Structure 1
Amino acid sequence: MSSTYFATVARGLEEIAAKELKSLGAKAVKPDFAGVHFHGNKELFYRVNLWSRIIFRILVPIKEIKSCNATQLYKNVYKIDWSKYLQPHQTFLVNCTGSNQNLNHTHFTALQIKNAIVNQQKRRFNTRSNIDIKNPDIIINAHINDNHCLLSLDSSGRSLHRRGYRSAMGLAPLKETLAAALLDMANWDGNIPFLDPMCGSGVLPIEAALKGLNIAPGLYRNKFSFQNWLDFDSTIYSKIVEEAKNKQLARLKAPIFGRDKDRDVIGQASINITACGLDKDIKLNQVQLEKIEAPADRGIIICNPPYGKRIGSSEQLATLYKLLGDVLKQRFKGWNAYILTANKELSQQIGLRTSRRIPVYNGSLPCTLLKYELY
């Protein structure tokens, strides 16, 4: 039986996420703001959680109800049979987004929904579920839009961008989902060498290795929230996990390199790379930018240098960007380079002509992914 789902994604990645969903077998795929609607059966729904590299979480709509004010919201939430989704021995959490004139505080709105659910439980079972804000069994998502509230079950639990491998983080870490999206934007398919000359805590090389080895990111997670659901089918899920393990490649088709000038940062990257068992697949070295050499006669560079918004100042970074441009021009003939930046003035210091400019958001920060073809 086909059901309707909603995948939440970072702003600007809707089309890339839609393409990924189609590749996984989703039907009726329709991008929306910061998300994608799609249809599929339970097997597809489990597979998307396990395999998606771009999506934050998968929501399963329960019901849309009228919610002009707190009283109406409470009454309509109370009318839903919550025993289909939540048992009194299970913990739960309500996450709320959106607002209207009378429901303009997400914490208050979530509290009203919680009260309606536990009061129904107390009436029916003479006991109730407890709230757990850290590790709930069931997560209920509520989105207020105008005078309606869409209630959904959050199937993913912890956001899918948290793969489970990254314990060490740099000063301005790139989300795993954005790193994976940059690889897609650059059309990197694992068949040519990959290099990040400013790899920080190693997210881009790690995501490249996961893609190159065809490893499902969800395999690093201990559990998904849907595994606590009353209709969870362990047989279907075990089958999908086994299929994913069998699809992994034994070795990369092309090497992956990570470089950074900072010894401590390279140490962080090494911890993360080891955590996901990729220490034999990613060639990591501490190297000053000015001393970096091309490790092959062709390949692709993707990097996320500081751009003055979070680390450093524009004045200090101008020299860095000029040096980056010089290194690319002098030592990487035959390569393509992609540089993510939010600072137009700094990007001009690179001194190379772009062949493509792709708008993208890093969190709420508007950025551009600049492509340089190096001849």
Structure 2
Amino acid sequence: MLNDYFATTSRGLEEVAAQELIRIGAKNVRTDFTGVHFQGDRELLYRANLWTRTTFRILMPIARIKSFDGDELYRNVQKLDWEEYLDPNMTIAVTCTGKSKNLNHTHFTALQIKNAIVDLQKSRRGKRSSVDTENPDLIINAHIDQKHCILSLDSSGSSLHRRGYRPAMGDAPMKETLAAALLEMAEWTPDLPFLDPMCGSGTLPIEATLKALDIAPGLYRDFSFQTWLDYDHDLWQSLLKQASDRQKNSIDIPIIGSDRDLKIIRQAFANAESSGLEDYVKFARQEVSTIEAPADRGVLICNPPYGVRLGNEAELGELYKLLGDIFKQRFRGWTAYILTGSMKLSRQVGLRTSKRIKLYNGAIPCTLLKYEMY
């Protein structure tokens, strides 16, 4: 039996996430704004949580109900058979996104849904579920879409970008999901050397290493579906074993991150140690001006400051010019990428781009610029 699912992702990464889902067997895949609709069985739901590198949450829609106002929302929530998903001994949390004219406060909407569910439980069973916002047994996601409310079960729990390896972060850390998406957009494969000369806390090199070793990003964390009433423990254990058996124990190419700040490099190494990857990825303190190509071909990706969260745009032009000069003089045979939120600064690189990809770094509109160095 195929169920409907919805994977949330960052704006601009919808197509990358869709291709990931197709590769693990998703059916009827369709992109939407900041998400992907798809279908699959329970095993696919588990796989999507375990293996997708570019999604935030995997939701399972269970109903689309009319919700002109709070009263109608309450009544229609109570028409659903919540005993299929929820036992009074289980804890719950309700999250909400979206607004309408009469439901314009997400906290009120979530509270109305919670009240409808627990009032129904009390009337039928004499007891009700408790609310636990930290570690609930069931997370109900509500999305207000004009006069309707889409109710879903959140199978992921904490966001999937939290791989669990990053206790140390720099001043403007890149989300793991974005780093994984950049590797896909750059068409990087584990047979190519990889370099990030401005690596910060090391997210890009670490994500490249996880991919090179074929380590499932969700292998060492828990998920909300593990507390669902229909949780299949044996199925989940078999998927974990398959993922563990797939892991490689060697990499034949260099994966390198460097940064001028010794404190930041120590953070990157701490993150590599936390993920058990310290023997596979190399971090070094190095000025951008001194970097050299570690091989005759490979992929370079960097995310230099662009005057929004770090740096002053007026002072960064020389850095972008330096990057262009280094690419041209020292990285012949490589493909280089710059992620930037400033097209004005990108013009200082002085090289012709072969491709420009629009995406978002959080709420910041950015462009991934591709340079082929012949």
State TM-score, norm by structure 1.
0.98
What is the match of residue 124 of structure 2? 124
SS state at 2:15 partner? helix
1:111 is matched by which residue type in structure 2?
A: L
Q: Percent identity?
A: 61
Q: Structure 1 residue 271 and structure 2 residue 309: aligned?
A: no
- 1:260–1:287 Cα contact (<8 Å) kept: yes
1:54 is matched by which residue type in structure 2?
A: T
- 1:192–1:253 Cα contact (<8 Å) kept: no
Q: Structure 1 residue 344 and structure 2 residue 343: aligned?
A: yes
What is the match of residue 230 of structure 1? 229
State the distance in 1 between where 2:43 and 2:359 align.
31
Structure 2 matches for 1:65-80, cutoff 5 A? Answer: 65-80=65-80
Q: How many residues were matched structurally?
A: 374
State the distance in 1 between where 2:254 and 2:292 align.
15
Q: 1:26-46 CA deviation, whole Å, 9 max, x = no partner?
A: 111111111111111111110
Deviation at 1:372, TM superposition (A): 0.7
2:329 is matched by which residue type in structure 1?
A: Q
SS state at 1:217 partner? coil
Deviation at 1:296, TM superposition (A): 1.1
- 1:357–1:370 Cα contact (<8 Å) kept: yes
State the distance in 1 between where 2:227 and 2:274 align.
26
Q: Structure 1 residue 289 and structure 2 residue 284: aligned?
A: no
State the distance in 2 between where 1:146 and 1:367 align.
30
SS state at 2:55 partner? coil
Q: 1:53-78 CA deviation, whole Å, 9 max, x = no partner?
A: 01111111111111001000001111
State the distance in 2 between where 1:76 and 1:214 align.
45
Identify the range of structure 1 (223-232 vs 330-339) with the bigger mean alpha-carbon deviation: 330-339
State the distance in 2 between where 1:349 and 1:61 align.
47
- 1:212–1:253 Cα contact (<8 Å) kept: no
Deviation at 1:79, TM superposition (A): 1.7
Q: 1:127-166 CA deviation, whole Å, 9 max, x = no partner?
A: 2211111221110000111111111000000010111111
Structure 2 matches for 1:104-123, cutoff 5 A? Answer: 104-123=104-123
Where structure 2 has 5 or more consecutive residues not aligned to the other structure, the ranges are none
What is the match of residue 32 of structure 1? 32
1:314 is matched by which residue type in structure 2?
A: E
State the distance in 1 between where 2:357 and 2:205 align.
21
Q: 1:235-283 CA deviation, whole Å, 9 max, x = no partner?
A: 1111111001111112123210010000010011011111111000001
Where structure 1 has 5 or more consecutive residues not aligned to the other structure, the ranges are none
State the distance in 1 between where 2:152 and 2:192 align.
42
Deviation at 1:125, TM superposition (A): 2.2
Please, what is the CA RMSD of the aligned residues?
1.0
SS state at 1:103 partner? coil
Q: 1:160-195 CA deviation, whole Å, 9 max, x = no partner?
A: 011111111111111111110000101011111000
Q: Structure 1 residue 145 and structure 2 residue 145: aligned?
A: yes
State the distance in 2 between where 1:126 and 1:272 align.
49
- 1:165–1:220 Cα contact (<8 Å) kept: no
Deviation at 1:301, TM superposition (A): 0.1
